[in-house]
Structure 1
Amino acid sequence: MSGSGQSVLRQAVESLLRARADAERELHDVAARAAKAALRPSEAARAARHPLARRAADDAAGPAAAFPADLAALATDTRTAIATEIHALLDLLAVDHHQLPPLPPLDPGPLAVPGAAGFVQAFPDGFARSYVAAVLGDLSGGRATSKADAAAQPAARQLAIDDARDRIVAAVSPPHQAVVRAWLSHEACHAVEIHGPQVSDRELELRVGWTRPPDHATPGADPWRIRPDGKVVSQHRVMVDAGAFTSEAAFVRPLEAFLAVAGRHEGGIDGFLRDHSAGGIAPFFITARQGGLAPGDAVAYRGAGTGTPQAARDWVRMRRDAMKNDDECMAPVRTIPYDPIADGADPGVRLVFKHREDGWVMVTYYPSDSPAPDNQRLEDLT
């Protein structure tokens, strides 16, 4: 296996964090077994009820009492060694790949305390501590899929996409059905194809893990494929997460909220888009509350350990290197299912329009756990 320096460093951080968890668990088990075993000679000697035997019991109890302290010292030394290596790797990532200053030193004090919380606190605040917390928090969750899994996934059916679009339009209030159908049917719009209720959990998982588009093999979809040498060929753009609506009703409710606000503009919907655009792009965010979304109305997958911008970029680089040919690729990345509405810090729907020669076009519309930096909050425009 091989990969870029950035990928190798990130993978090494994950491996060491996994080793820390294994070491903590094994040392805890050893401590419990050793303490019990060390007390057996003392207990057996006392059971003999002879002065010499009781003296032997006292002599045997001495080493047993020292075991916990000895093992605690060993555990601290183990945590310190692993933390030191991770700190060095993160320093390389910070300086060489994220244009950050060198890291401050570790704080060894918290490493004397068992558990993840103390381990995380040992790292300097900021980049290093948040990075370790993000990766460590997802270490036991998620799973990896293989190239073979992605290749074996059945192609999307255009009929299923068309049926989903028809059901969505039928759920829209009659005055808006024509404009919504025009938006969702435009060749530049992939809202239904990629985020509609016909998209399965498995398709979302493979989209995040291997950039395989949910509308694979339908007209207009990215010609994603795996070459005979194992290289994944893809131009499909996806960062660290992918989501979809779970029903036509969930898809429509936020859109109706947008149409209600835009429709009140004196220039109508086109005027609203014109007045809230820059460079021909009009990005919006409809909060879950305003859009009437509840837990269960959306489903998503995300990369494991992508909770900071730098960790997310490193994870994307690992995915890219996993998609290389079989002689050069790294191990597959892991992904985690989640509910963006239930789990998001500021959940809702991202909606983006672009102005083209044929007018305003909806290019994307999908559930998200938070707004994009350039999104205009619809609730602020009412």
Structure 2
Amino acid sequence: MLHLNAGPPKLFGVYAQKGTFHLFKKLIFTAIVTLRRARGGVTSITAEGARGRPSFAQMEKPQPLSTHPKVGDSLLQYCYDTNAMLYFKHPSVGLLQLPRMPDTLLFGDRDRWQAEGLSIHPLVPMGTWAISYEGPMRVYKDEDDEDQATGEIVDVRIEVEWSANFDHFDFDSDLDVGAMARAMAKEKWSREYFNNLRDAHQTHYEQMGALKGTAMVAGTTYSVELESMRDHSYGHRREWRLLHRYALHMLHLQDGTQLNVGIVSQPVSCSNLELGYVCHVGSRRPTPVSEVGFQLWNFGERGSPPDDYAFSFVAGGRRHVLEVQGVEGAGGAPVFFMGWQWEARIVEKFVRVKLDGVPGWGVVEFQYNQGPGDHRPPTLAGGDPTWTLQLNKG
């Protein structure tokens, strides 16, 4: 292993670079994954795969939770011009958010996706979902990411239905093999590395669709019709401290194309994983992204995401050029925090884009590791249910 791991130092002490035996390691990994896929398994060498999830109905329901305090089973709906954290962007009132934001710890029913007025319920697996919210929302303030307590409170009621436009994209079975192999081959292989790879695994899938329904804001009812991406992640635990950074571009174009493309840096497994997919009108099946020319360390490494930039990526053998421009004005880049101790800081940038000249819009999500220690204000932690006091949250 020592000979296979010879190579240059990591950029910023994080991002592994190609070593002497990169090509050899890439071929090994490609062969392993290709063989497992041919046998009806999955792309990931550590995942259970389709045989561990025999039906869409089982995948779409709340998963049995382990006893680990950081057990994960999360369902997210990203909507263009709104985001289910919950954010709702109103053209005159401003960007609305849940009153407890930027804190994202909600306490509700473990058998349903329901908490503090927000409910997400599957109607048809991989097909349609009912989403509702009724309660107060607070106007977002740009002045202070961590203190949103003085924003104006507005009464909101949302009733929408999400419908799939395309088949789901499963990160266990659908990620491009070449992109995965290229990323894995850069890392230093050891028994510890492969153990970490197994322990950090999360089942994750995404699906592009659209929302339709109504929203009542301060007594006035509006029609809602938005393009949307949803995802579902679950596993033994969700450890935000393992993630160094990521940048994900969740976009919709005027011609109906929907896509998610970006880079994830999780040094215990892959410090520079290129990933994504493109959904084209006329085909239900997403096309995996095989190459992303977005060098994460060049874009906001010190904590401030860029406003304007461009990069290229390859999907289906075709190279695309993506131009990104941040939306100016109040609420253009809200911030929230994830984890018991606010281990992750996440910036949601609303953007306008052009993909090969075709206009579009969406959200770019930039995640940053907050570093060691407890970053969650004691005033918030003090309001958590008493059973949380006994948990090891570190």
Q: TM-score normalized by structure 2?
A: 0.22
Structure number having the greater helix percentage: 1
Higher strand share: 2
